[in-house]
Amino acid sequence: MNKVIVVGAGLAGCEAAWALASRGIAVELHEMKPHKFTPAHHYTGFAELVCSNSLKAMRLESAAGLLKEEMRMLGSLTMQCAEKSAVSAGGALAVDRTKFSDLVTQAVRQNPLITVVEGEVEEIPDGPVVVATGPLTSEALSNAIANRCGRGHLSFFDAAAPIVSRDSIDMEKVFFAARYDRGEADYINCPFNKEEYEAFWQELVNAESAPLHEFDKRDFKVYEGCMPIEVLAKRGADTIRFGPLKPVGLRDPRTGHRPWAAVQLRREDADGSMFNIVGFQTNLKFPEQKRVFSMIPGLENAEFLRYGVMHRNTFIDSPRLLNADFSLRDDALTYFAGQITGVEGYIESAASGIVAGINLARRLAGEDPLPLPRNCMIGALSAYISNPEVVDFQPMGCNMGLLPSPEQHIKDKRLRYEAVAHKAIESLAAALKQCGEV
């Protein structure tokens, strides 16, 4: 009988172990708790939720709702335990965190094909293995991963700028151009006049920042190389105007003049459905980002697909290292799963664990990887983390901007997302049937 080692009993590790055991494969699940805890974890149970008790929206036409439905289709342990431990939270799936962890722990420990091994893992075990050690991977294992993958392919801080939907940008107020017309006009430029810029700067420097965890405060000096936009702005009224918002080399075709300042948006995906706000790494609270960044000309009604974040987060450069099935490109029996791969969020982490577990089981059975459609959320996340064309890779959570738009344009956003979600479910069901995973 094949035996697989899974490292880490968070959401991704538990899902990977569950998927493997459900396919008749014996699993050794290694977890360093209770002998050692990360700075963010305190409970001895598996799949500990530490930041929020919400597993996001339930509506199928939302990105999170769609992802959870796809996870159910793939036999998710997370979804089974979440539904048994759910508490009232309006349209979101929220759980009693202790009960949820206890249910996952009990299910895993009682599975006859899963053996739990307590203690820290300091080296990547020989395959077949799934490494699912999360955003706070221990120093020893982080060093082992860096040595295995190359130190240039391992990040310890998540310094990400916000991403907005292309469809939500007011194209009447912006223009495509590259500085001095060099190269392709790939950037969307949002031009400020003097009055608009000064109002924006005033709100930016007075906006409320998110509190830092103690382990983030300890290492915050590392952020000097990717300074939060609000911190940079506090150094002077013109600092960002001569920095990331410099208008040099740009001319607004509607006025024929150089803007007073300009925010540039860079294409985030090949389809051009998502754009990154260049230079806007930030530690502002999410509602503050929405309020202040919506003052940027053209972004008044922007849909934020991902808000900016700055915190400690160990993740690998997955586009250079991983296949879409979450295996290493140069080692078919070593898989990664969870936030260490660059998927951002609890359910995203759990979903990646399911995919890694199923795909490793299929590989051991001599079968092809799970054929995940690009238009389902799990398929889109898998494609994102494995796309070698992604430059300056940063973690990404589920969002509708990852999915292709429906063939027929639907103006109403709710109806459009509803159509996208139903198509995703239909495509995933057909793919699972085709490969015998139903």
Rounded distance, CA 33 to CA 9, Å?
9
Average of per-residue pLDDT across 228-249? 92
Q: Domain boundaries in the chain?
A: 3-160+312-434, 165-307
Picking from 337, 434, 430, 304, the residue whose alpha carbon sits closest to that of residue 375 is 430
**Using one digit for the tens of pLDDT, what is the confidence trace for 128-169?**
999 999 888 888 999 999 999 887 787 766 667 899 999 999
Rounded distance, CA 253 to CA 34, Å?
62
131 contacts: CB under 8 Å, gap ≥ 6? 7, 8, 124, 145, 334, 335, 336, 337, 340
**Using one digit for the tens of pLDDT, what is the confidence trace for 302-343?**
999 989 877 677 889 999 999 999 999 999 999 999 999 999
**Using one digit for the tens of pLDDT, what is the confidence trace for 13-64?**
999 999 999 999 999 999 999 888 776 677 899 999 865 567 888 899 999 9
Helix or strand holding residue 163 (H, E): strand 163-165
The arrangement of secondary structure in 3-160+312-434, i.e. its CATH architecture, is 3-Layer(bba) Sandwich (3.50)
Beta bridge partners of 154: 316
**Using one digit for the tens of pLDDT, what is the confidence trace for 360-375?**
999 999 999 999 999 9
What was the pLDDT predicted at 94?
Answer: 82
Q: Do domains 3-160+312-434 and 165-307 have the same CATH topology?
A: no
Token output for 416: 């459009």
- Rounded to two decimals, what is the model's pTM? 0.78
Which letter, b or e, does each residue of 164-176 get, where b requires 16 or more Cβ atoms within 10 Å of its Cβ? bbbbbbeeeebbe
165-307 CATH, one of 3.30.1560, 3.40.50, 2.40.128, 2.40.30 = 2.40.30
Cβ–Cβ under 8 Å, residues 188 and 303 = no
221 pLDDT more than 50: no
Rounded distance, CA 152 to CA 5, Å?
26
Cβ–Cβ under 8 Å, residues 161 and 274 = no
Per DSSP bridges, beta strands 114-118 and 26-31 are parallel
